[in-house]
A = this chain, B = another copy of it.
Amino acid sequence: MNYQLLTQCPIFRGITEKEAENLLNKIHFQIKSYSKDEVVVVAGEPVLNLHIIVSGSVRGEMIDFSGKTIKIEDIEAPKPLATAFLFGQENKFPVTVTANNDVKILGMPVSEFLKLLQLNTRILKNYLTSISSRAQFLSQKLHFLSFKTIKGKVAHFLLNQAGDTFHSVELKNTQQQLADLFGVTRPSLARVFGEMQKEGLIRITNKTVTLLDKKSLTELMNNV
């Protein structure tokens, strides 16, 4: 068992290797191996164990009604799986998880994990921080989606990136990536960039966006 890697897992952050070893000696768990493309869990299955990927990587996929699989995200070692679904009213896996390559996964029953949380304050704090951050992330994403127009989204994005002090933003993504982030098509985003430039709100030179009129930009955001 590689305790060194485990301490890099968000849940064990700040725990020394020795501590981790001591703690895990008091707790029941098992390590399972999966080979490439083997299914780890099926969507809808109840979440009875905390899963932590010890080595390799997996992908989460949803299967829609027509049978098409849609990749949701990749998760790599040493990250935990579906931490937000260990507890809660509907503790079923939201996605089907499949091994990307040869994978080792630590499985720990919920009851054992609860013991662990009560044994060690640091781990408790880590876990609480982890699911709270997730809730905050989702909340922010929801807020972001509440902007109806593309201009509103762009304004919000740019103002967020720039913060209070700066007046220009260095884009680190292509327009296509931004468009995906905003949930719009690439030409639509380009059009909006063009319009905002014509209106004197921003100036785009290569990958740098200069915010010329922060006031008007904030007003754009409020037009829900």
Q: Tell me if A's interface is mostly helix, strand, loop or mixed.
A: helix
Q: Are B84 and A221 in contact (CB under 8 A)?
A: no
Q: Which of B118, B129, B135, B183 contacts A135 (CB 8 A)?
A: B135
Which of chain A's residues 62-98 have a Cβ closer than 8 Å to chain B? 64-66, 84-91, 94
Which of chain A's residues 125-149 have a Cβ closer than 8 Å to chain B? 125, 128-129, 131-136, 138-139, 141-142, 145-146, 148
Q: Are B222 and A65 in contact (CB under 8 A)?
A: yes
Which of A134, A183, A222 gathers the greatest number of chain B CB atoms within 10 Å? A134
Q: Are B131 and A135 in contact (CB under 8 A)?
A: yes
Q: Is A15 an interface residue (CB 8 A)?
A: no
Q: Are B129 and A132 in contact (CB under 8 A)?
A: no
Q: Is A218 an interface residue (CB 8 A)?
A: yes
Q: Are B136 and A134 in contact (CB under 8 A)?
A: no
Known: A114-B124, A121-B118, A145-B145. A139 touches B219 (CB 8 A): no
Residues from chain B with Cβ under 8 Å of A135 in the complex: 84, 88, 131, 134-135, 138
Q: Is A42 an interface residue (CB 8 A)?
A: no
Which of chain A's residues 163-188 have a Cβ closer than 8 Å to chain B? 183
Q: Are B222 and A87 in contact (CB under 8 A)?
A: no
25 contacts between A and B (CB under 8 A): A64-B222, A65-B221, A66-B219, A84-B139, A86-B128, A87-B132, A87-B133, A88-B136, A89-B136, A90-B136, A91-B132, A114-B121, A114-B125, A117-B117, A118-B118, A131-B131, A131-B132, A134-B135, A135-B138, A138-B138, A138-B139, A138-B142, A142-B145, A145-B145, A148-B183
Interface residues of A (CB under 8 A from B): 64-66, 84-91, 94, 114, 117-118, 121, 124-125, 128-129, 131-136, 138-139, 141-142, 145-146, 148, 183, 218-219, 221-222
